[in-house]
Structure 1
């Protein structure tokens, strides 16, 4: 019943040997290996990752294994922290929620059904777990079911395909990179960088884990003999020059005569032509994994890639250190005005689900502002913040940086009074829509939007840097 997802970048992945297969659509840009200077920079990068806490300690690994052993008792063997659970067509997803809700080890249990991939999010003995369920047309699911084979798609409906493809894509990427260890280390670096620069969040219109994995894998294909320090620098060099919306692909698109699913193809489908930053999954049916990226968030991503390129150039010239590349983005210093979205509920359990639903809709608010206010730049923050001085804290706050656009200048441009009024009107419309669409909304739940000047920013946001 359980099938673990290969967690890309996790230290528990088995080591794959490099092969001589043809990995992609084009030949490598360079077959050069690391120079002595690259080897030295790589050692410095590895030291930086260790001091940054990117690698798991032995104690954490043992605790994780202990948690996995207990999770297997709930829904079968082969579970992982990022977990795909495959089961027969029934109400198993709801049934599993009830089982977990009764367990003392489980906290922060949250069901997210209204999303691209339905998921149960919870902490098991403090370990965060995302569990995706994929119903399949079997009365009993065989233990040797091969999810990597396209034939398995014949036993699920279209809604279950994205759930299965998370696992399938992760495994396929490992087949398509020339050196898995170098890929894993480079991916760790870029995930850490994306987190610190405010770009790691699919739900708010930036890049999620699978997006980063495909982008890194493509660079690994282009530079098959490069070590991680080289690959990090090549990553920014490649993607600052990339001509979006040209797609990033790891292999040719695969069609299948067995069962027809929508395969990403802008030549055939109008919707696919609207993608601004297409990053295509390497398994059938291939899709655009970066579907949430908008024109606004793409521009922010491009600016940050340019920052990364400049920092790497300094590192290669020995004028910079790795920690300069991984500096936290000063979000609350970057804009003269911020839209504050405050979410509240009467108890912690209600707040957990309510704020999750609101966060899943923030990308729509960005699009509303983008379309209704062409002169404004809107930058959603990927973090949520809580005023811990209020006890019990039954609220959380999301922020969006706002300023007027002005081409070809770094001068700070403030919003005008009428623009502020119009943004608040757009925000009020968004709040009403969110309340109306949340299936479990109660009178005790609320969402308020206000504009806050940079100098009026509440102090608690500067004390928090972790994503809630």
Structure 2
């Protein structure tokens, strides 16, 4: 019986491991009227506990993100000039901050941080992001607790901008300029990108796709 048991164990260890793919969603159906009513009741129940931001706080987040977006554009323009790009490119080089995660989906709680992605054109390197952009942030009076986490699985800069905690990721696209209407869901943008840039883009791509789907359901 012992040799038989050993044989069975050997067979079990030789069996190829199963790998499961991405499971499909349980349901793609829009919420029913009862679901919406229950959601509203849950919101009303949570309000007294102060988990939702006031309008003033929401507007403050928008203002901070606008300032950060302007800093990114200014920095990319400076980098472009330092790398001797022609004025025609420098003037329209762009650059943009995208948000993702709970803030992008509109489900963040009071005091929650913002997940952001800095998207730059092909001539701006990741090393530029962690040196010259980091130094530019350091010069801003509103910025506190600045920290670069270069060795993370998804490298990022952490900071507190005028009371708002922000994590900024970086992705360089194979484009000469970054247009304002850039759609990160476009799969062609992933061509020839390094793995760290692809990882950085993933959060935004998923949040944008999910947000668009939710808007479609509301309509």
TM-score (norm 1): 0.30
CA distance in 1, matches of 2:176, 2:29: 51
Q: How does 1:27-38 map to 2 (within 5 A)?
A: 28=27, 33-35=32-34
Counting helix residues as a fraction of each chain, which structure ranks higher? 2
Q: Does 1:83 align with 2:82?
A: no
Change (3 A) 1:43 1:160: closer
Describe the SS at the equivalent of 1:108: strand
CA distance in 1, matches of 2:29, 2:181: 40
Contact 1:174/1:180, CA 8 A, preserved across alignment: no
In structure 1, the residue matched to 2:68 is: 71
**TM superposition shift of 1:179:** 6.9
Contact 1:71/1:79, CA 8 A, preserved across alignment: no
Change (3 A) 1:98 1:50: same
Contact 1:83/1:132, CA 8 A, preserved across alignment: yes
CA distance in 1, matches of 2:97, 2:55: 21
In structure 1, the residue matched to 2:129 is: 93
Change (3 A) 1:137 1:55: same
Q: Which moved more, 1:53-62 or 1:117-126?
A: 53-62
Q: Does 1:103 align with 2:140?
A: yes
Describe the SS at the equivalent of 1:109: strand
Q: How does 1:222-261 map to 2 (within 5 A)?
A: none
**TM superposition shift of 1:132:** 0.7
In structure 2, the residue matched to 1:59 is: 56
In structure 2, the residue matched to 1:326 is: none
In structure 1, the residue matched to 2:163 is: 126
Describe the SS at the equivalent of 2:147: strand
Change (3 A) 1:176 1:71: closer
Task: Tell which has more relative contact order, 1 or 2 (C-alpha 8 A, sep 6+).
Answer: 2
In structure 2, the residue matched to 1:303 is: none
Describe the SS at the equivalent of 2:209: helix
Q: CA RMSD in A?
A: 3.2
Q: How does 1:60-459 map to 2 (within 5 A)?
A: 60-76=57-73, 77-78=96-97, 80=99, 81-87=114-120, 88=122, 89-90=124-125, 91-94=127-130, 95-176=132-213
In structure 2, the residue matched to 1:44 is: 41
Change (3 A) 1:30 1:180: closer
Q: Which moved more, 1:135-144 or 1:55-64?
A: 135-144
Describe the SS at the equivalent of 2:118: strand
CA distance in 1, matches of 2:68, 2:30: 44
Describe the SS at the equivalent of 2:59: helix
CA distance in 2, matches of 1:122, 1:132: 12
1:37-66 deviation per Cα after TM superposition (whole angstroms, max 9, x unaligned): x84x54431212212223220111222222
Contact 2:30/2:217, CA 8 A, preserved across alignment: no
CA distance in 1, matches of 2:128, 2:161: 19
Gaps of 5+ in 1: 1-23, 182-468
How many pairs align? 156
